[in-house]
């Protein structure tokens, strides 16, 4: 079994900061890439940031210069540092990983795994 668990969401004032965490657990052989998405009710899910196994990153234009994605491969954990938050960024934030499960010490099947989400509320 492999799962992702997000944490760090909550209530913050406009202009404030939060750091989200996403911890992957289970029998994991490798993680190709990890992503942060966000989604408001009735809206389409939006890709916020992406990071590869080698640490290469990409960001949505709307968050460049304010958000930073990072990962700790030893802990199978990804982070999203969010600064200068805006009220319109009140959303549920989800982490997602493209990974290969481990069968003993050998690689198994490839999976796309999603967390349950963490709510970020930015007050005006």
User: What does DSSP say about strands 118-123 and 10-13: parallel, antiparallel, or unpaired?
Assistant: parallel
In this predicted structure, what is the pLDDT of residue 73?
Answer: 86
In this predicted structure, what is the pLDDT of residue 28?
Answer: 93
Residues in the chain, total: 124
In this predicted structure, what is the pLDDT of residue 41?
Answer: 87
Cα separation, 110 vs 84, in Å, equals 36
pLDDT digits (tens, 9 = 90+) for 74-92: 899 999 999 999 999 999 9
Cα separation, 58 vs 12, in Å, equals 25
Q: For the residues 9-18, what does the mean pLDDT come to?
A: 98
In this predicted structure, what is the pLDDT of residue 48?
Answer: 98
- Phi and psi torsions of 63, nearest 5°: -115, -5
Predicted confidence band at 120 (pLDDT cuts at 50, 70, 90)? very high
**DSSP 8-state assignment for residue 5:** E
In this predicted structure, what is the pLDDT of residue 1?
Answer: 83
Q: What is the mean pLDDT of the chain?
A: 95
Cα separation, 2 vs 11, in Å, equals 29
- Of all residues in the chain, what percent carry a pLDDT higher than 70? 100
In this predicted structure, what is the pLDDT of residue 104?
Answer: 87
Contact 123, 98 (CB under 8 A): no
């Amino acid at each position: 079994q492999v799962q992702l668990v997000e944490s760090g969401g909550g209530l913050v004032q406009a202009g404030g900061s939060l750091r989200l965490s996403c911890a992957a657990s289970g029998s994991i052989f490798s993680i190709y890439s990890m992503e942060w998405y966000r989604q408001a009710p009735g809206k389409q899910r939006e890709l916020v940031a992406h990071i590869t196994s080698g640490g290469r990153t990409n960001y949505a234009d709307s968050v460049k210069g304010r958000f930073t994605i990072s990962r700790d491969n030893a802990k199978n954990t990804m982070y999203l540092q969010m600064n200068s938050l805006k009220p319109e960024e009140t959303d549920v934030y989800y982490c997602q990983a493209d990974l290969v499960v481990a069968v003993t010490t050998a690689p198994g099947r490839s999976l796309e795994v999603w967390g349950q989400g963490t709510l970020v509320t930015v007050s005006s």
